[in-house]
Structure 1
Amino acid sequence: MTGPGVRWTAEQVLALAPDAASRKAGGRLAAAGPWSAAGSSGGGAVWGLCKGSGSKPYQTVVDTTGPAYACSCPSRKFPCKHALGLLLLWASETDAVRDGTAPEWAEEWLAGRRGRAEQERSPEGRGRPEGTAAPDAARRRAERRAARITSGALELEQRLADLLRGGLASAEQAGYGLWEETAARMVDAQAPGLAARVRELGAIPGTGPGWPVRLLEECALLHLLDSAWLGRELLPAPLAATVRTRVGLTAPADGAPVRDRWLVLAQYDSFDGKVTTRRAWVYGQGSGRFALLLSYGAAGRAPQLALPVGAAVEAELVPYGGAGQLRAELREGSWAPAPVEGPPRGGPVAAALDAYGRALAGDPWLGSWPVTLTDVVPVPVSTPDGDGWQLADARGHSALPLTPVALTRPGLWKLVALSGGGPVTVFAECGQAGVTPLAAWSAATGAETVPLI
Structure 2
Amino acid sequence: MTQQGVRWTADQVLALAPDAASREAAGRLATAGPWSEVGSTDGGTVWGVCRGGGGGPYRTVVDVADASGPACTCGCPSLRYPCKHALGLLLLWAGGDGAVPEGEPPAWAERWLTGRREDAEAAAGTETAETGAAETEAAGAEAVETGAAGAEAAAGAAGDPSGSVSRTRDPVAARRRAERRTERITAGATELEQRLADLLRGGLAEAEQTGYAWWEETAARMVDAQAPGLASRVRELGSRASSGSDWPVRLLEECALLHLLDQGWLRRDRLPEDLAATVRTRVGLPATADGPAVRDQWLILAQYDSVDARLTTRRVWLYGTETGRTALLLSYGAAGRAPELTLPVGLSLDAELSTYPGGGRRRAALGKRFAPPAPVEIRPKGVTPSQALARYGRALRDDPWLESVPVTLEQVVPVPDGDSWQLADASGETALPLTPAFGNRAGLWRLVALSGGVPVQVFGECGHRGFTPLTAWPAGPGQAVSLT
Question: What TM-score does the superposition give when structure 2 sets the normalisation length?
Answer: 0.84
C-alpha distance 331-35 of structure 1, shift in aligned 2 (>3 A): farther
Q: Which residue of 2 aligns with 1:87?
A: 90
CA distance in 1, matches of 2:50, 2:292: 43
1:277 pairs with one of 313, 318, 321: 313
- 2:120 matches 1:113: yes
Moved more, 215-224 or 125-134: 125-134
C-alpha spacing 1:142/1:395, structure 2 compared with 1 (3 Å): same
Distance 1:423 1:244 in 2: 42
The counterpart of 2:465, out of the listed 430, 433, 439, is 433
Aligned to 2:142: none
Q: CA deviation at 1:313?
A: 2.4
Structure 1 residue 33 displacement after superposition: 5.8
Return the offset for 1:251. Answer: 1.7
Q: Match for residue 96 of structure 1?
A: 100
Q: CA deviation at 1:37?
A: 7.0
The amino acid across from 1:6 in the alignment is: V
Looking at structure 1, the residues matched to 355 and 11 of structure 2 have their Cα atoms a distance apart, in angstroms, of 29
Q: How does 1:182-261 map to 2 (within 5 A)?
A: 182-261=218-297
Asked if the contact 1:63–1:110 (Cα under 8 Å) also holds between the matched residues in 2, the reply is no
Q: Is contact 2:81-2:340 (8 Å) kept? A: yes
Change in Cα spacing, 1:32 to 1:422, as seen in structure 2 (3 Å) is: closer
Q: Is the 8 A contact 1:356 1:431 kept in 2?
A: yes
How far did 1:171 drift?
A: 1.8
Deviation at 1:187, TM superposition (A): 1.3
Letter in 2 for 1:231: R
Return the alpha-carbon distance in structure 2 between the equivalents of residues 29 and 410 of structure 1: 21
How do residues 30-429 of structure 1 correspond to structure 2 at under 5 angstroms? 30=30, 31=32, 34-36=35-37, 38-40=39-41, 42=43, 44-48=44-48, 58=59, 60-65=61-66, 66-93=69-96, 94=98, 96-100=100-104, 103-116=110-123, 120=127, 126=131, 131=166, 132-331=168-367, 333-382=369-418, 387-429=419-461
Amino acid at match of 1:395: S
Q: Distance in 2 between matches of 1:420 and 1:50?
A: 38
State the alpha-carbon separation in 1 of the partners of residues 445 and 368 from structure 2: 36
Q: How many angstroms does 1:318 deviate by?
A: 2.2
Per-residue CA deviations over 1:269-319 (Å, capped at 9, x if unaligned) read 211112111212221211111111222121421221222122222222222
Q: CA deviation at 1:128?
A: 7.2
CA distance in 2, matches of 1:107, 1:61: 13
RMSD: 2.6
Q: Please tell me whether the aligned partners of residues 388 and 409 of structure 2 are also in contact (alpha carbons under 8 angstroms).
A: yes
The residue identity in structure 2 corresponding to 1:83 is: A
Quickly say closer, same or farther: Cα 1:355–1:311, change in 2 above 3 A.
Answer: same
Contact 2:64 2:372 in 1 (8 A): no
CA distance in 1 between counterparts of 2:101 and 2:229 reads 48
Is residue 3 of structure 1 aligned with residue 10 of structure 2?
Answer: no
- Decide whether the 8 Å contact of 1:48 with 1:61 is kept in 2: no
Q: Distance in 1 between matches of 2:383 and 2:121?
A: 40
Q: Is the 8 A contact 1:388 1:402 kept in 2?
A: yes
Is the contact between residue 309 and residue 335 of structure 2 (CA under 8 Å) also seen in structure 1? no
User: In 1, distance between residues paired with 2:336 and 2:462?
Assistant: 30
Partner of 2:157: none
Q: State the Cα distance separating 1:213 from its structure 2 match.
A: 2.1
Q: Which moved more, 1:169-178 or 1:193-202?
A: 169-178
Structure 2 distance, partners of 1:37, 1:86, is: 9
Shift of 1:233: 2.3
* Code of the aligned partner of 1:103: E
Instruction: Say if 2:454 and 2:475, in contact at 8 Å, map to a contact too.
Output: no
Using the TM superposition, give the Cα deviation of residue 35 of structure 1 relative to its aligned residue in structure 2, in angstroms.
4.0
Residue pair 1:4, 1:336 contacting (<8 A) in 2 also: no
Q: Secondary structure at the match of 1:227?
A: helix
Report the AA paired with residue 420 of structure 1. Answer: G
Q: Who is 2:481 aligned against?
A: 450
For residues 37 and 8 of structure 1, what CA distance do their matches in structure 2 show? 17
CA separation of 1:242 and 1:33: change in aligned 2, threshold 3 A:
same
Counterpart of 2:150 in structure 1 is none
Whole-Å separation in 1 of the counterparts to 2:408 and 2:379: 8
CA shift for structure 1 position 368 = 0.8
Distance 2:123 2:369 in 1: 8
- SS at 2:373 equivalent: strand
Distance of 1:146 and 1:302 partners within structure 2: 33
Unpaired runs of 5+ residues, structure 2, are 135-164
Figure out how many residues of one structure are paired with residues of the other and give that number: 445
Corresponding residue for 2:16? Answer: 16
What's the secondary structure of 1:103's corresponding residue?
helix
1:269 aligned counterpart, secondary structure: strand
Equivalent pair of 1:34/1:50 in contact (CA under 8 Å): yes
Residues 72 and 254 (structure 1), Cα distance of their counterparts in 2 relative to 1, 3 Å cut: farther
Tell me which residue corresponds to 2:161.
none
- Aligned CA distance change for structure 1 residues 136 and 451 (closer, same or farther; 3 Å): same
Percent identical: 61
Contact 2:38 2:46 survives alignment (8 Å): no
Contact 1:148 1:190 in 2 (8 A): yes
Determine the C-alpha separation between the residues in 2 that align with 1:136 and 1:69: 43
Partner Cα separation in structure 2 for residue 114 and residue 353 of structure 1: 48
Alpha-carbon shift at residue 124 of structure 1 (Å) = 6.5
Q: Determine the C-alpha separation between the residues in 1 that align with 2:382 and 2:174.
A: 44
CA distance in 1, matches of 2:481, 2:65: 21
Letter of the structure 2 residue corresponding to residue 16 of structure 1: L
Higher mean C-alpha deviation, range 95-104 or range 202-211: 95-104
Partners of 2:483 and 2:38 in 1: how far apart? 36
Question: Cα deviations across residues 312-353 of structure 1 (Å, max 9, x unaligned)?
Answer: 222222222211231222236544233422431011112111
